[in-house]
Structure 1
């Protein structure tokens, strides 16, 4: 398993760091994923032709995207998309538009959404690489 992660990480180091953080949640792996998230922000900025970002902005976007990635559930409805009210049976959550996912807020909303999508894509590519190395599905 470890060898498969290493081999898959050769072609996709960013996805490997995110996948490893998902699996272990160790402090060192979170720091590695944050460093790779900064590269993802730079790549997305170049792809989407965002205005030049300062290093502090890159770090802020990467940190906030990683925070959303590790805790995606809406804090108001706890990821259900619905709020159970006293006199009514169920009310759609207005904070997340009944999606159950915590919406990015603040100055970098567009950028955080793009980075989150890229992180998901890279993680899936890394997982596919691990599965190819093992010749069987390793994780879901």
Structure 2
């Protein structure tokens, strides 16, 4: 344990940034590439839920992209070279946690309606957030981008 009791999370560098930054590139991908990326995101979310945890803040800014450029000329492996990671587990909590109902946090367009009604976060809340990410992949625009969502 460190003497200062100050902890730090160290992540691999994601050379393509986050999904929000790459949205215009994502919509130009093939369906195969996008389905693969969505598969990687839901697989990561499955691993989080398998540990009996809830992410609680899943959105396009917390999906990191990394292109493993070892095989630049190998177009067949282009899908395999594009890695996707779920990041920012700072709000992650156990499924049975006892958070107060007034603890609402996250990026509003990605928040499940029940959270906005004061219900606790559940794995289903994360699935709703994932569905908003799926919306972005298919439409090319962030969810509810035509509506003000500041409180």
**If the length of structure 2 is used for normalisation, what is the TM-score?**
0.24
Higher helix fraction (1 or 2) = 1
Which gives a bigger RCO, structure 1 or 2 (Cα 8 Å, sep 6+)? Answer: 1
**If the length of structure 1 is used for normalisation, what is the TM-score?**
0.25
